[in-house]
């Protein structure tokens, strides 16, 4: 009798919710709904904060391909990565931030900012003649780093992760030496500390600009910074204890994606 009564109450609650015209979606499903090719007529019921429903699926090109990945979800917040690609495989990674009241709603739409400047730098580097390279750079290795670094910043997240996996042995070696150095250092939560600066050529060979820890943005993780413009950066972090992982936010660490074995891809804004 009790079970039948509970079921009846549940059905009433569901029907009441539906009568208000607001179906419940998990963040991943809601992201797919908003960015589907078909118009999502109820979109205004699932947006909040700065996100007013644009861009959405109607703003994407007809031939565009979308791929969705849930990066993280707690009781009240979630982040979904949406990769938008054309038929040639070129594309852009974007990030939808969600908050939950009674239902999940999108409150911010983000992507790595100021990439146009980096794209222009990449084109200029690619167009240089050998004579120009010799004039501008102190060595071919410096040129190779600058070109490889700008390309990696602009890559899709999947390809940035592939770069890490291809060079994982070297990343692990440098990380272990950084951890060894940290045994004799004091971490300042307000200021970053440069690590393994004697290995600059080694980490530049894998297109890393610097290795550091500390600071208010990423905390006590080991930060393998690739690069970016101003506060809009991309890189890898190593976290020995998952509780030290920074929290995602549309106004700070806009995305974190797990790679494995304590390693993560991150972007800030």
Domains and CATH numbers, the chain: 25-110 (3.10.450), 116-268 (no CATH)
CA dihedral 188, 265, 61, 231 (to 10 degrees): 20
Q: What share of the chain is helix, strand, coil (3-state, %, to 5)?
A: 40, 30, 35
How many angstroms separate the CA atoms of 153 and 112, rounded?
9
* pLDDT tens-digit map of 156-174: 999 999 999 999 999 999 9
* pLDDT tens-digit map of 194-233: 999 999 999 999 999 999 998 878 888 999 999 999 899 9
Q: Does the model's pTM come out above 0.85? A: yes
User: 244 or 17: whose pLDDT is higher?
Assistant: 244
79 within 8 A of 72, measured Cβ to Cβ = yes
CA dihedral 237, 204, 92, 266 (to 10 degrees): 10
């Amino acid at each position: 009798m009790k079970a039948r009564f509970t079921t009846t109450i549940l059905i009433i609650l569901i029907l009441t919710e539906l009568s208000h015209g607001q179906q419940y979606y998990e963040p991943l499903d809601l992201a797919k709904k908003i960015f589907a090719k078909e118009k999502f007529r109820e979109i205004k019921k699932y947006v909040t904060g700065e996100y007013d429903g644009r861009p959405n699926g109607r703003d994407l090109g007809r031939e565009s391909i979308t791929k969705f990945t849930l990066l993280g979800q707690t009781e009240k917040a979630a982040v979904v990565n949406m990769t938008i690609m054309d038929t040639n495989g070129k594309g852009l990674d974007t990030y939808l931030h969600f908050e939950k009241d009674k239902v999940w709603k999108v409150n911010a739409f983000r992507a790595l900012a100021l990439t146009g400047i980096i794209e222009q730098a990449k084109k200029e580097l690619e167009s240089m003649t050998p004579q120009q390279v010799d004039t501008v750079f102190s060595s071919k290795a410096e040129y190779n780093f600058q070109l490889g670094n700008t390309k990696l910043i602009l890559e899709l997240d999947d390809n940035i992760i592939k770069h890490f996996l291809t060079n994982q042995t070297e990343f692990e070696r440098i990380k272990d030496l950084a951890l060894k150095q940290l045994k004799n250092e004091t971490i300042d939560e307000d200021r970053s500390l440069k690590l393994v600066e004697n290995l600059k050529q080694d980490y530049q060979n894998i297109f890393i600009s610097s290795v550091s820890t500390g600071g208010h943005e990423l905390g006590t993780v080991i930060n393998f910074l690739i690069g970016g413009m101003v506060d809009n950066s991309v890189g890898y972090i190593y976290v020995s204890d998952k509780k030290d992982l920074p929290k995602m936010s549309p106004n700070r660490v806009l995305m974190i994606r797990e790679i494995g074995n304590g390693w993560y891809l991150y972007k800030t804004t």
